[in-house]
Structure 1
């Protein structure tokens, strides 16, 4: 039995969105080659990750349900929308298996609840009293301001261009306190 719910009306979609925390919807067309290519991957993900009342998978034929596609501004096929608590949280345009797998993994691991941005209470810049932190080299010397600025921008750029900012900050050579 398929774990994918076919959506044929706005009422079907609304019903699914209100009964599940997270819903991943595949907007496709029968004539679309990339849609046919990624369909088995979507089906496999639905089979392995669907959870009653938590995570559901659905398909909308954009030719048969043009009103739904228009409501969500779907202009390319396939388009995958990830709904959390009834609102669009993520959009994947095109047949991108790795992005689809990542979105499904994120949706199934979060169980619909937003993940906390930071696991610890954090530290203030320049605060050397935090657990495991060491004084900033050169603090108090003539080049303290320049050293702090280099570390700040180095850490900022390191975390800005990474998928896991916390892990990148921990591994960064610009991290205050050095490596653990």
Structure 2
């Protein structure tokens, strides 16, 4: 039993977009060779990952539904569009099984968390500033130590020295490592 819906009209497609958090659409043509090659992979992904109301898989024949293809700027086949709450989240052009599997896995994971119109956007309780649970690091002085007394001029000198050293050497990495301007050396 296939869990892929063949789209026949733009109103049918709009209804599926509104009824599901994620929709993965396969824009194909009957004459397209790469479309036929990736079709079994798409069908297998649809069979194993479809979830009513969360993740739906559809196929759209670009010859019969050219208006939908034009609306979503589909110019190559196959093109897979991943919709989240009706807006395009990801685009895969061409028969790329690894990219398709990755996009489906990402959508499945996100849909499983319950994000979307009916789920809560944030699941953790969060952190409170000044709480005891996770003490932050203490700073001594400014937030950027490079700008502490003389730090800015030291940083500029190191940059210029490293630039000149690496510019006029055959092995830039080795020259930078051996340079007295190396940022890993303490010059104070």
TM-score bracket for the superposition, by shorter chain length: 0.5 to 0.7
CA distance in 1, matches of 2:42, 2:139: 48
How large is the Cα RMSD of the aligned pairs?
Answer: 3.1
- What is the TM-score of this pair, normalised by structure 1? 0.66
CA distance in 2, matches of 1:96, 1:102: 10
Structure 2 runs not aligned, ≥5 long: 128-133, 160-188
CA distance in 1, matches of 2:57, 2:109: 15
Structure 1 runs not aligned, ≥5 long: 122-128, 151-180
Measure how far apart 1:146 and its partner are: 2.9
Runs of 4+ in structure 1 over 2 Å off: 112-116, 129-147
Measure how far apart 1:142 and its partner are: 4.7
Aligned to 1:34: 34
Aligned to 2:165: none
Between structure 1 and structure 2, the one with the greater Rg is 2
Aligned to 1:146: 155
1:83 aligns with 2:83: yes
**Residues 36 and 131 of structure 1: is their aligned pair in 2 closer, same or farther, counting only changes over 3 Å?**
same
Measure how far apart 1:86 and its partner are: 1.0
CA distance in 2, matches of 1:46, 1:131: 45
1:113 aligns with 2:112: no
**Residues 139 and 105 of structure 1: is their aligned pair in 2 closer, same or farther, counting only changes over 3 Å?**
same
Measure how far apart 1:132 and its partner are: 6.4
CA distance in 1, matches of 2:81, 2:21: 14
Deviations 1:127-167 (A, max 9, x none): xx9546898998957557739x99xxxxxxxxxxxxxxxxx
Measure how far apart 1:90 and its partner are: 1.2
Mapped contact 2:7–2:13 kept (Cα < 8 A):
yes
How many residue pairs align between the two structures? Answer: 140
- What is the TM-score of this pair, normalised by structure 2? 0.63
**Residues 106 and 133 of structure 1: is their aligned pair in 2 closer, same or farther, counting only changes over 3 Å?**
farther
**Residues 132 and 3 of structure 1: is their aligned pair in 2 closer, same or farther, counting only changes over 3 Å?**
farther
